[in-house]
A and B are shown apart, each in its own frame.
Chain A
Amino acid sequence: MNRREFFKISWGTVGLAALVSGVGVSLAAVIRFLMPSVFYEPPQSFKIGEPGDFPFGPPTFLVDEKIFVFRDREKGFAVASAVCTHLGCTVAHFSSDQRFHCPCHGSVFAADGSVQHGPAPRALDWFEVTMARDGKLLVNKDKVVPPNYRLMV
């Protein structure tokens, strides 16, 4: 290799490296740009009202939060997710058979949320529900609890 070739190869390598890293960094920056830093979405933890707002018997469906609030005389409060674990459709609770039915691909969940039928890969989530200082029920969707979790009031 003579001097000339040496410079050609080294400059070529430097140039190529600059190009590749430039493109790589730009690409990473673009992807990061597309990833929102702030979500203007409802908070994951929210108050749903006083215990007295919820009747005994069939669960109350909260539309915006997409949750079912169960209130049982002996056992207390429990909150189930209404979002099907398959592809995110909103499930309905049928009081006739005490199960959750998904309209999209026919998943059926038992009363405790476990999958009985259909393509859903896992049970419906149950969320933590606690009593806030002001006496209101506080649901935290970031805290998934076992189906037998109950809040007694």
Chain B
Amino acid sequence: MNLIREIWQSIVRRDPLSTDKGKSELVFLNVWLHIHPAKVKKENMKFRHTFYLGFITFFLFLILLTTGIALMVYYRPYPAQAYQDMKDLQFAVFMGTFLRNMHRWAAHGMVICVFLHMCRVFYTGSYKKPRQFNWVIGVLLLLLTLSLSFTGYLLPWDQLAYWAITVGTNIGSYAPLIGGQLRELLLGGHSVGEGALIRFYVLHVAVLPAAMILLTIVHFWRVRKDGGLSRPVWKLKGKKEELVVIGAPAVAVPMQASATSKDKTYGLMEVVSGKPIFETVTPEEEEDTVFSYPYAFVREAVVLMATVTTIMTMSLFLNAPLEELANPARTPNPAKAPWYFLGLQELVSHSAFLGGVVAPALMVLALLAIPYLDRNPSRRPGDRKLILWLFTIFVVANLALIIVGTFFRGPGWALVPPWVHVVGGAE
């Protein structure tokens, strides 16, 4: 018994969790948990502040990593084998369909959740000082998420994959000066073929996930260093109430303005320096503070389990589509990109250069610049009417384009309402 206790102690090295010291040490001494602060503010962790969308996105990414590695065992990225391996996964490999479904639905879910997470951060004004740069990291994560989806889309090598990537990469070739070369670089050839498949595979299983993991670490680190989650909007009071001060004490003059309590448990660094250097806290916020264990961890665990359960349940009942083998000679009519790019395809159907290059480039630049262009320091919705409207228009326009592209475009990209059944299409 003593030996068992000794082994356990050698692993966890902390006091019992019934004590405050134990609760703090659980976070301090564990490399995985210590991205959390030892204590969190209850209100900031409220569901209706974050909807846990960032966490859900992250957990979906974890599902994608694990199921993706499993799929790699059976998948060979050559045109002659790729499609066959998908069929094998569907019909011969034990649990192959289930794993493939999980990978597919988690990927769609991640695109949805990363977008909703961005909206949440925008509507709560959480990109404002000091979180400007983390918003920029976030936009890069959004682009990475889309790139991962796009590269993954080619891998089944079916008709859908082949034509979506043909259309998608041709959009790139409209970029001025370098467009043609860019496409050649991406495809390793002049058209979508075996060179393109292996390149997309390398991007999809190595380069992009690595970038995603690195940037996610930076993203989480910054959330922590920016003073944890932002205060919920309903907790903001008067104009001068936002007291968060970040940075070295030299620039932290406003700190004196707040009544910080002396005996609070701060992060390790604060303990070392003897004063809070990253954040100042009002007494009211202080009252709101609880240990991360169990408050935050239980909530995160519940969200994790809910996410995994949802994806697993979906994967039991809904099968990821697989069309017929890629056929370069026959374009399906209509040929559609993945749904999250159908807004783009809709724009492209009007002008390839304006819709496919200029509009998306402007959108990305605008997103990146938001925290630096929006000089309004207030996070309260009442003070931000104009920009909230602008962002809402941006969101609605994107959704509308996607809906038109998905449901209202029939053969020959003609406007066809979804309730009209087109028999046989053109030809």
* A139 at interface by CB-CB < 8 Å: no
Fill in one digit per residue for A19-44: 1 if any B CB lies within 8 Å of its CB, else 0: 00000000000010011100111000
Contact across chains for B412 and A31 when beta carbons are under 8 A apart:
no
* B171 at interface by CB-CB < 8 Å: yes
Which one of B56-64, B300-308, B309-317, B323-331 is at the interface? B323-331
Contact across chains for A89 and B335 when beta carbons are under 8 A apart:
yes
* A51 at interface by CB-CB < 8 Å: no
- Residues of chain B within 8 A (CB-CB) of A31 are 185
Which of A34, A92, A119 sits near B349, CB closer than 8 Å? A119
Give B353's nearest chain A residue, CB to CB: A121
* A90 at interface by CB-CB < 8 Å: yes
**Contact A106 to B191, CB < 8 A, known contacts A63-B329, A87-B348, A90-B329:** no
**Contact A89 to B193, CB < 8 A, known contacts A94-B427, A101-B426, A119-B350:** no
Fill in one digit per residue for B182-193: 1 if any A CB lies within 8 Å of its CB, else 0: 001100111101
**Contact A90 to B330, CB < 8 A, known contacts A35-B185, A119-B350:** yes
Q: How many pairs of residues, A versus B, come closer than 8 Å at their CB atoms?
A: 93
CB contacts under 8 Å to A, within B169-212, are 170-171, 181, 184-185, 188-191, 193-195
Fill in one digit per residue for A79-105: 1 if any B CB lies within 8 Å of its CB, else 0: 000000011111110100000011111
**Contact A88 to B191, CB < 8 A, known contacts A103-B334, A104-B167:** yes
- Residues of chain B within 8 A (CB-CB) of A101 are 412, 426-427
Q: Tell me the minimal C-beta distance from A133 to chain B in angstroms.
A: 28
Give B334's nearest chain A residue, CB to CB: A103
- Residues of chain A within 8 A (CB-CB) of B191 are 41, 88
* A47 at interface by CB-CB < 8 Å: no
* B166 at interface by CB-CB < 8 Å: yes
- Residues of chain B within 8 A (CB-CB) of A118 are 349, 413
Contact across chains for B329 and A64 when beta carbons are under 8 A apart:
yes
> What are 13 A-B pairs at a CB distance below 8 A?
A35-B184, A36-B189, A87-B167, A89-B331, A90-B329, A90-B330, A101-B426, A103-B335, A103-B412, A104-B163, A104-B334, A106-B349, A118-B413
Q: Which residues of A contact B (CB under 8 A)?
A: 31, 34-36, 39-41, 61, 63-64, 66, 86-92, 94, 101-106, 118-119, 121
Q: Which residues of B contact A (CB under 8 A)?
A: 163, 166-167, 170-171, 181, 184-185, 188-191, 193-195, 328-335, 345, 348-353, 356, 411-414, 426-427
